[in-house]
Amino acid sequence: MTKEEVVKAIEAVRPYLQADDGDVEFIDLSQDGIVRVKFSGACSICPLSQMTLRAGIERSLLRQVPGIRRVEAIL
């Protein structure tokens, strides 16, 4: 699991968020497999952003990058 793999996986989901005037930015990858991201645009104020985080972004990253344990959004 590398930062580059995580960024590539995030880039794959970004167009879906951008289609709704939102976005997500990679912030950090911890050694224990926790990815931190930051929402922007419409995603930063959307009441469904936690669902997007878990059902969309986290699920995609868990599938694409072995070793990822969780994805967290920071404010």
Residue-range domain boundaries for the chain: 3-74
pTM confidence score: 0.89
Please give the pLDDT value at position 1: 77
Please give the pLDDT value at position 16: 92
- R_g of the chain, CA atoms, integer Å: 11
70-74 and 34-41 strand pairing = parallel
Please give the pLDDT value at position 75: 81
CA distance to 25, 31, 32, per residue, from 14 (Å): 9, 24, 24
List per-residue pLDDT tens for the chain, 75 residues long.
789 999 999 999 999 999 999 999 999 999 999 999 999 999 999 999 999 999 999 999 999 999 999 999 998
Pick the CATH number of 3-74 from 3.30.300.130, 2.60.40.10, 3.30.2010.30, 3.40.50.300: 3.30.300.130
